[in-house]
Amino acid sequence: MTERTLVLIKPDGVERGLTGEILRRIEAKGYIITELAKRQASPDQLAAHYAEHEGKPFYQPLVDFMLSGPIVAAVVEGDEVIKGFRSLAGATDPSTAAPGTIRGDLGRDWGEKVQKNLVHGSDSVDSAEREIGIWFS
Ligand code: DAT
Ligand code: MG
């Protein structure tokens, strides 16, 4: 089924010049980038985006990191793209993410810096629609 997902290239990906490489992998898989924008995230956008993690010990370091530099936000469309992009991204922790994935091939930070894992991808149809509304309204 055709779906939409919200992809964020986090500040580490933008700063390291990996925007093109990450978008290349998305397009090479056959997904369509329907919206694309480089942004400085606001605290309000991040509070909404990461509401499910509020109160967890990693919440504030995660938000601070996401405010540390520009991000690239994209709406990506394709058959089963929500699950499919998370598969391209790989496991949350770049130290164990599989080779061939964005985090496994390109991620250089883990442990207490695991928030620097290059990308975000929505995890369900509901969260995708909610997140797209935060970044593209
Ligand atoms: P994902 O980005 O793979 O969907 P998530 O939604 O569980 O992971 O968490 C959001 C981000 O928060 C994740 O990309 C990195 C950070 N994070 C998750 N678990 C963490 C932990 N145990 N310690 C530090 N940061 C964590
Ligand atoms: Mg998540």
The pLDDT tens digits of the residues spanning 100-112 come to: 999 999 999 999 9
* Pairwise CA distance, residues 66 & 79, whole Å: 29
Residue nearest to atom 24 of ligand 1 (CA): 58
Q: What positions carry a catalytic annotation?
A: 120
38 in a labelled binding site: no
What CATH number did the domain enclosing 23 receive? 3.30.70.141
Q: How many Å lie between the centroid of ligand 1 and the Cα of residue 2?
A: 26
Domain that holds residue 108: 2-135
Tens digits of per-residue pLDDT, 32-56? Answer: 999 999 999 999 999 999 999 999 9
* Pairwise CA distance, residues 58 & 110, whole Å: 13
- Name all residues whose Cβ lies below 6 A of ligand 1: 53, 58, 62, 92, 114-115, 117, 120, 123
Q: What average pLDDT is seen over the chain?
A: 98
39 in a labelled binding site: no
Query: What is the pLDDT confidence band of residue 62, given thresholds at 50, 70 and 90?
Result: very high
What is the number of domains present in the chain? 1
